[in-house]
Amino acid sequence: MKLNDPTLLKTDSYINGAWHGGNTRFAVTNPATGDVIAEVADLGAAETTAAIDAAVPAQKAWAARTAKDRAMVMRKWYELIMANAEDLAVILTTEMGKPLAEAKGEIAYGASFIDWFAEEARRVCGDVMESPIPDKRFLTFKQPIGVFGAITPWNFPIAMITRKVAPGIAAGCACVLKPAEQTPLSALALAELAERAGIPAGVMNIVTGMDAPAIGNTLCADDRIRKMTFTGSTEVGRILMQQSAHTLKKMSLELGGNAPLIVFDDADLDVAIAGAMASKYRNAGQTCVCANRIFVQDGVYDEFARRLTEASAAMKVGNGMEEGVEQGPIIDSQGLDKIERHVADAVSKGAEVLTGGHRHELGGTYYQPTVLANMSSDMMMFGEETFGPVAGLFRFTSDDEAVAMANDTEFGLAAYIFTDSTSRLFRVSEALEYGMVSANTGIFSSEVGPFGGVKSSGLGREGSKYGIDEFMEIKFVCVGI
């Protein structure tokens, strides 16, 4: 791995402003080649407790500083991230596998949350309310919740950290973060830049380790952790809620998805194909908001299927560090196995493979961009998130049928619709049981918009003007006069 600044490649955990190596280490591999790229500190429950010990006093001192002061430090962090974007993208692609162009986009997207919440910190306001009692005055204050725990996934190893940590730090909180074991290097590089920016020791702690249950349970069980924020599977989210119940923590959970993408007869097919490609194949289909079920109306089904097949077959697959690569490898063999199970199940129940359908000739964990036609609701892909580059096409006739099929899932994170009818756009958007609806575009995420789901897709919202409130408590003060 060639970096302009080799000191960004950290392999020890970051606790209380110091780097901790521990007694054992675990390997981080490049999914594009299988090569070991680093040996990272393998810490556990004891070190997590030490990080909490450091975070508690650090949080009180950090919260005592003015919002303007915190914002200036965060702005410096943002500037350092953007100045080192090239190196951060190389680290990200090497440990995660996504194309370098996508990695660069993630660096800018991730940094945007730091920039946004640095400004939002200065706009946190309470209220003076009309009192119903003549000799009393009613006020509210917003105060930081305290120390929070964060657990982040491997598919967006920069952005999922900044989207959680930035609002918390802006609010005056401190964090203990456990990054995914597949992608710890991006997290540690962020910690290095945070230290350079002047974020005080103990305010941002990163504990790396293979024993995720032990680290997670330590965070959940400790009553000094007043909030947990997690992105990952619904199954793990439920476990974290159960483990946090005894201490009644505030929870932010961004969990599994099963995103429908609905193409109506009146859609602009150029726009719909571009949107489907962007939504389905970004990060090789390994995002929680990827289109998992593509519903296409009768009148345009055949034409849409033909054009999507042509576009998918033309994608360049390879090592994300190579020029022009549009799709990298799947993160690991477990992810590849799930994709193969879903495709085999669909084919056994009558699906037609229009392109792809097999492991890629490059070997390793590469998989061909795949389009399946004649999908039905009894197939695994209808009810489960595939998390891979497989587009399954379902046919529908009426608006009501499309909405019913889209809502026929326990999940409710993101949905996509393509139509040139304004009235249909509003009717369908309101009828879909999802936290986010993207109309006539396959990419919608921004630091300005609230990100989050309903039903089994989670609790709370990240980003936007609402995101900082997830790290605040409202205090009511009654003053007698």
On whether the CB atoms of residues 446 and 438 are closer than 8 A, the answer is no
Is residue 120 among the annotated active site residues? no
* Per annotation, catalytic residue among 173, 175, 288, 290: 288
Is residue 410 among the annotated active site residues? no
Query: Could you give the count of Cα atoms lying within 13 Å of 69 in the half-sphere of its Cβ?
Result: 10
Residue 333: which of 262, 388, 271, 395 has the closest Cα?
A: 388
User: For tokens 């660069």, what's the residue?
Assistant: 104
Sheet with strand 147-151: strands edge to edge: 18-20, 13-15, 204-206, 174-178, 147-151, 225-231, 250-254, 458-459
CA distance 407 to 172: 39
CA distance 215 to 260: 34
Beta bridge partners of residue 27, listed in sequence order: 39
Angle at 271 between CA 268 and CA 273, to 5 degrees: 105
Query: Could you give the count of Cα atoms lying within 13 Å of 257 in the half-sphere of its Cβ?
Result: 29
Question: 10 Å Cβ neighbour count for 259?
Answer: 28
* Per annotation, catalytic residue among 47, 95, 192, 254: 254
Give the tokens for residue 361: 């000739």
Torsion (CA) 19, 25, 31, 35 in degrees, nearest 10: 110
Give the tokens for residue 105: 């986009």
Catalytic residue ranges: 254, 288
